DNA sequence: CATGAATGAGCGTTCATTCAT
DNA sequence: AATGAATGAACGCTCATTCAT
């Protein structure tokens, strides 16, 4: 039941927004009453925090799996991470929307568990860039932190506009991103 | 007074969010009553739409000024557009936040005036990429629409994390973005 | 201007109701501002009272003109009064609606001028019935006050359902009423 | 509780009017909070519609019971229907007031259930008159529809003026109405 | 005469949350 | 484990009225 509530909430929060989705909406969808909701969650807030936590935990795991692979170079790691992100934004579209859009509704208390993971994810990417520079794969023209934010911007922005049923296929999108990130625009 | 309400609302919507800011919050901040608010705006919705409209109108104007300059090449145009965007996200930080975050609260009716401008902005960027490919400045490795979204992702994402009082200066950020966009990561 | 406001208000109060019509609605219709309204009327209440006063004054005058005619008998007087009422309900439909429907919104103070006239109108009708009984024209089977209310009920109820553009013509209606009032149903 | 809200609302709507009675007034009277009101009714509108529905349903049932009685003639049926109406207007005075006065505040949606019954009631009366004419009990001097409206006018108008604590007793009123309806005024 | 800005009280409605059962 | 009744605070919005100009 707890999981059912979470999955239903992800769909509703993603579609209509956190504030715009009432607890009543959620329990109506499942066919139970509000009492049930508060039996499993102490607040709407906590539910949102859990959704965030599961999402960041999942992509952080996948990212670290790539980063810990000793058999591939920085370029290949970057390639795989971009693909992971694009995959998640497509296949967990509603979770991604919630993650990028509704962070502001999470209380200080819950942020304490989520923010470090968010930060870790970004820092890991920055370290990958730094490492790639150190081993001569990447240019050293720009601050690694800026580069990490730029790469995240490219992928994360997809949640804002990307329509899986539109003309751009997931594979083409991810490969386009990688190509652009690696080679830039100039001839 | 109308302008005062708008400026105050931009600050509050940016800081706390549209739904989370009540009309009462806005008028309290100014020291008038709710009646005054509704004397100048027919709804909170309309106010939000106006904020969006002013923002997109402003950056669209600046973008087209750059694009219409016959004395500079595509690379230079791209450089200037990235700088315009970074400048706006820094100096109109709250408006930018509202623009990227609160679109979903704008009614159909008001969207009719705003959406075309949003779309135009993105299309203009795509055309700049296409033109740059046609005249041999840019590589033709990736679909121009994907590239336009990627570039917008880089700049727009700044609204999410960039802190003007942090260690990264605006100039360094914008120039870092341009360098990365043009040359990519690989050596 | 004062008259313009009254005429416009009659239309709007009749169509939408007193409470449902705002002072703003009225002045919008005329193209002036609320200040103007309050220059001519001290309150919305007062305006309503004036409308009532004009209406009752008008039909009371017409009623008394009939009653004071020494050349016609009670039956003829009744006939003419029913026709006056039917005429007013058709041709001053909105005023009639307001008169019958919105009495409850008139303040004590203003009622002091209107109620006596309303009462007078009914009393005059009762007296006509009593006189008709006294001079042998009418039966003395029912209390004259009940009869006066019954006759008023027949005519006034028209405001509720009568549609001048429907199949029943004004003349047919008034004459039907008179026939029924005089002869009843039974063979 | 739902019924308590309805009964309280009937008293308040009847006394002060629908628009003039706030949900706050209703719940204050009962000693609960507004939340409770909206737990039982989806809107103030819906509550009004329910009051109307119960009223018309009740008198329509009673009317049809009389009409379906095969042992009495048209005159007797008319007599009983007038008495039913007078009884209701006296004993459900506030419901009757609401029914005749506040129809205009009922939404299209709810009217769909109420209007047909209102119409049915009037049509049944018209049919009774027509039948009475056909079997020779009643004169055929006036259109049956006009007669039905006239009879309804007599009885319904009572809601406007009749004071059960005044000098006229219910029985005297109803019998006076019947006498007048059947025999008219003229000797 | 008329305007336009502002007020303040109130309204219908929503909703996260509580709690006895 | 789940229900259903109830709360209370807030929200967007309306509107009769005032008043300096």
User: What tokens were used for B83?
Assistant: 């700088």
D129: closest CA of chain C, how far (Å): 9
Name the residue closest to E6, CA to C1'.
Answer: B36
Per-residue pLDDT tens digits for C25-43: 999 888 898 888 999 999 9
CA-to-CA distance for B107 and D93, rounded, in angstroms? Answer: 46
Query: Does position D8 have pLDDT exceeding 90, yes or no?
Result: yes
CA nearest to B24, candidates B15, B34, B11, B14: B34
Per-residue pLDDT tens digits for C116-129: 999 999 999 999 99
pLDDT for res B106: 92
Collapsing DSSP to helix, strand or coil, D136 comes out as: coil
Cβ contact (<8 Å) for D143 and C179?
no
Average pLDDT of span D162-173? 92
* CATH level 2 (architecture), domain B44-183: Orthogonal Bundle (1.10)
B-chain residues within 8 Å CB-CB of A45?
A: none
D-chain residues within 8 Å CB-CB of C101?
A: 101
Q: Give the closest nucleotide to B47 (alpha carbon vs C1').
A: F12
D-chain residues within 8 Å CB-CB of C147?
A: 176, 180, 185
CA-to-CA distance for D51 and D45, rounded, in angstroms? Answer: 10
pLDDT bracket for residue D156 (50, 70, 90): very high
pLDDT for res C185: 76
- Touch D-B: 3+ C-beta pairs under 8 A: no
Exposure class string for C122-156: b at 16+ Cβ within 10 A, else e = eebbbebbbbbbeeebbbebbbbbbbbbbbbbbbb
Chains touching chain B at 3 or more Cβ pairs under 8 angstroms?
A
Q: Which of D107, D185, D186 to mutate to test the interface with C (most CBs of C within 10 A)?
A: D185
CA nearest to B170, candidates B111, B86, B114, B93: B86
pLDDT for res C117: 94
User: What tokens were used for D35?
Assistant: 């939340």
Q: Which residues contact A47 (CB under 8 A, 6 or more apart)?
A: A5, A6, A9, A41
CA of A12 to C1' of E16 (A): 17
Query: Does position B122 have pLDDT exceeding 80, yes or no?
Result: yes
Q: CA torsion angle for C124, C128, C133, C136 (degrees, to 10)? A: 160
- Assess whether A32 (CB) lies less than 7 A from strand F: yes
User: What tokens were used for D43?
Assistant: 């809107």
CB atoms within 10 A of CB B170: 16
CB atoms within 10 A of CB B176: 22
D98 CB-side CA count, 13 A: 32
Collapsing DSSP to helix, strand or coil, C76 comes out as: helix
To 5 degrees, how large is the angle CA A14–CA A17–CA A23?
100
CA of B126 to C1' of F14 (A): 47
Cβ contact (<8 Å) for D153 and C158?
yes
Per-residue pLDDT tens digits for D48-107: 999 999 999 999 999 999 999 999 999 999 999 999 999 999 999 999 999 999 998 998
CA-to-CA distance for D177 and D184, rounded, in angstroms? Answer: 10
| Summary mean pLDDT of chain B | 93
pLDDT for res D187: 76
Average pLDDT of span C60-75? 93
pLDDT for res C35: 86
Interchain CB contacts (distance < 8 Å): A and B: 132
CA-to-CA distance for C169 and B82, rounded, in angstroms? Answer: 76
pLDDT along chain A (187 residues), means of 10: 89 91 91 90 92 94 94 94 93 92 88 93 95 93 95 94 92 94 86
Dihedral sign computed on CA atoms, order A137, A140, A142, A145 = positive
Query: Does position D185 have pLDDT exceeding 80, yes or no?
Result: no
Superfamily of domain C1-41: Homeodomain-like (1.10.10.60)
Does 3.40.50.2000 match the CATH number of domain C43-183?
no
- Assess whether D38 (CB) lies less than 7 A from strand E: yes
Backbone angles phi, psi at A131, to 5 degrees: -60, -45
Cα-based distances in Å from B13 to A171, B23, B96, B144 = 37, 11, 11, 34
pLDDT for res B78: 94
Query: Does position D186 have pLDDT exceeding 90, yes or no?
Result: no
Per-residue pLDDT tens digits for B75-105: 999 999 999 999 999 999 999 999 999 998 9
Cβ contact (<8 Å) for A173 and B146?
yes
pLDDT for res A75: 92
pLDDT bracket for residue B74 (50, 70, 90): very high
Nearest CA in chain A to B100: A160
Query: Does position B9 have pLDDT exceeding 80, yes or no?
Result: yes
CA-to-CA distance for B23 and B44, rounded, in angstroms? Answer: 7
Nearest CA in chain B to A97: B101
Phi-psi region of B136 (alpha: psi -120 to 50; beta: other; left: phi over 0): left
Phi-psi region of C17 (alpha: psi -120 to 50; beta: other; left: phi over 0): left
Nearest CB to C187: which of D17, D139, D173?
D139
User: What tokens were used for D179?
Assistant: 């006498």
Query: Does position C4 have pLDDT exceeding 90, yes or no?
Result: no
C-chain residues within 8 Å CB-CB of D183?
A: 139, 141, 184, 186
Cα-based distances in Å from B130 to B62, B70, B166 = 20, 17, 36
C-chain residues within 8 Å CB-CB of D186?
A: 75, 137-139, 182-183
Query: Does position B71 have pLDDT exceeding 90, yes or no?
Result: yes
Q: Which residues contact D61 (CB under 8 A, 6 or more apart)?
A: none
pLDDT for res A185: 79
Cβ contact (<8 Å) for B186 and A185?
no
- Touch B-A: 3+ C-beta pairs under 8 A: yes
Query: Does position B186 have pLDDT exceeding 80, yes or no?
Result: no
What's the distance, Cα to Cα, between the start and end of chain C in Å? 56
pLDDT for res A172: 94
Q: Which of residues 22-51 of C touch strand F (CB under 7 A)?
A: 22-24, 34-35, 37-38, 42-45
Domain locations along chain A: 1-41, 43-183
A-chain residues within 8 Å CB-CB of B180?
A: 141-142, 146-147, 150, 184
pLDDT for res A2: 84
CA of D43 to C1' of F16 (A): 25
pLDDT for res C184: 81
């Amino acid at each position: 039941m707890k999981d059912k509530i979470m999955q239903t909430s992800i769909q509703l929060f993603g579609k209509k927004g956190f504030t715009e989705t009432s607890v009543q909406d959620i329990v109506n969808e499942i066919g139970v009453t509000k009492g049930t909701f508060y039996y499993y969650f102490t607040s709407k807030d906590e539910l949102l925090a859990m959704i965030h936590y599961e999402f960041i935990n999942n992509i952080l795991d996948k990212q670290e799996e790539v980063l810990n692979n000793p058999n591939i170079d920085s370029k290949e790691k970057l390639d795989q991470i971009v693909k992971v992100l694009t995959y998640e934004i497509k296949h967990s579209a509603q979770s991604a929307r919630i993650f990028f859009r509704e962070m502001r509704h999470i209380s200080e208390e819950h942020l304490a568990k989520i923010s470090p993971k968010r930060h870790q994810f970004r820092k890991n990417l920055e370290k990958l860039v730094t490492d790639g520079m150190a081993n001569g794969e990447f240019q050293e023209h720009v601050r690694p932190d800026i580069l990490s934010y730029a790469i995240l911007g490219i992928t994360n922005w997809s949640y804002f506009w990307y329509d899986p049923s539109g003309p751009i296929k997931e594979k083409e999108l991810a490969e386009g991103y990688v190509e652009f990130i690696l080679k830039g625009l100039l001839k």
